Amino acid sequence: MRKAFLIIAIAVLCVGVISFVSCEQKDGVCYKFDNNETITIPLDKYVSPLSRLQCCKIDGKEMVVANFENSELAFYDIAEKMQVHVINLLKDRGLCAFEYVNKDSIFLLYTLPHSYYRSGISDSVILADTLSFQLIDYDGNVKKCYHFNCDGSNIDGVNLTVKDVLPPYSGSFYHKIMRNGNMVFFYPCRYLYNDVENMRNSKPFIACYDLDTEKYYFTKQKFPYLNDTAYCPILEGSSNFLFFCISPDGLPVLRFSYSSDVFEWDYKNDVLIPHTLKSRIIDTTFLRNASDWPYYEGAYYSDITYDPNMELYYSSIMFKLKNVHTASTIIADRNFNYICEISGFFDNNTQFFHDTIINAGVSLFGDPNICISKCKLDVCDSCDGYVDSMRNLVGKAMIND
């Protein structure tokens, strides 16, 4: 389901018809987003709609870096609409995620080699693989390989193997490398999200890796608000129920799909700090009992991202009800104070350059191309009708469900 929403969102971006309407103002503040530019870069080959893209500036030029699930990183000049550089990657494995920092620093997170995907992979084999997490430069030179060694990490007391805690080698979990300085944050376990027991057990749901010491730090916290009778029913087709971004203080902000609270993870002290950040369209925490598993239609919180320039959070909520499949996004200040709510969807692929918000995706229609949409945040007059209209829409759908 999450992929379906992403595809819809990218399709809307590509045809350039985003129209965000602000609502439910707080203290006289109300926002809207105006789509002021849409750019398409033609491609000469078919690419996956789930390709990984990052916009950046290189030598003063706006660029988009793309991995089309092949063995290269391609760099496109946005103004010239053409490829200008390519970095060849390892050919025996796929790329989960990457982060372009500058010409001297490009992080790569690979899958295990294709030959490793067979039964009986031992922990020693995984630990011996030092190529999965790399730092390279613009010329493709490998500057450092990070060792996935859990020795000396705080894994004591948890019944896990190395295979359980290493980053899941799947693009379904990673759209970009989540990093703040020398700390990289990730999901440490391959949860089967339709497995009730996996949601009740004590496996760590968030972890960090110190690039300097090359050690892991795992949370020992349990899923907030879940117990033997109340837990999250994953929507059919959904691939995740935990989303996170990095706060202005460098802490992961965790958004569980079932909770109207978000949690900052103080990883140094392993403490979850709760903050209320709920939609005003529907008042629920989405906890259900076992009789609802796994077939449930309703609403669930989704991606959360932070705009460091405007000092705002954007947190999306999905509605999957009879005849109502749509999304809304909450805007909050850096202290998690609700400001307003808008129509539309934000995810961690959204990027921020000064006062410009940029989304990049691959077109699903016609000839293949990269679509880049730019918009800006503006203060607008009060328009409280959006939340009321969505409440009515959702309320009717729930009554008829």
pLDDT tens per residue across span 85-123: 999 999 888 888 899 999 999 999 888 777 766 656 666
Residue pair 139/204 in contact (Cβ under 8 Å)? The answer is: no
Query: What are 400's strand-pairing partners?
Result: none
Cα–Cα distance measured from residue 136 to residue 142, given in angstroms and rounded to the nearest whole number: 4
Cα–Cα distance measured from residue 208 to residue 218, given in angstroms and rounded to the nearest whole number: 7
Q: Which two tokens stand for residue 49?
A: 């709609």
Start-to-end CA span in the chain (Å): 18
Share of the chain above pLDDT 70, in %: 67
Comparing CA positions, the residue from 184, 348, 345 lying closest to residue 267 is 184
Q: Is pLDDT at 191 greater than 60 in this prediction?
A: no
DSSP code of residue 349 = T
User: In the predicted model, what is the mean pLDDT of residues 39-56?
Assistant: 85
Q: Which residue has the higher pLDDT, 237 or 270?
A: 270
Among 61-65, 216-220, 397-401, the range with the most confident prediction by mean pLDDT is 61-65
User: In the predicted model, what is the mean pLDDT of residues 26-39?
Assistant: 73
Query: Angle CA(63)–CA(64)–CA(69) in degrees, nearest 5?
Result: 150
Residue 149 identity: N
The H or E element spanning position 245 is strand 242-246
Query: What are 17's strand-pairing partners?
Result: none
Coil, helix or strand at residue 135: strand
Q: Is pLDDT at 159 greater than 80 in this prediction?
A: no
Q: Is pLDDT at 240 greater than 70 in this prediction?
A: no
What is residue 217's predicted lDDT score, i.e. its pLDDT?
85
Query: Which tens digits make up the pLDDT trace of 326-343?
Result: 888 899 999 999 988 888
| Sheet of strand 61-67: strand arrangement | 52-58, 61-67, 72-77, 82-88
In this prediction the pTM is 0.84
Q: Which of 118-127, 238-247, 298-307, 363-372 has the lowest mean pLDDT?
A: 118-127
Kindly list the distances between the CA atom of residue 72 and the CA atoms of 51, 93, 117, 140, in Å, as whole numbers in the listed order.
Answer: 12, 11, 22, 10
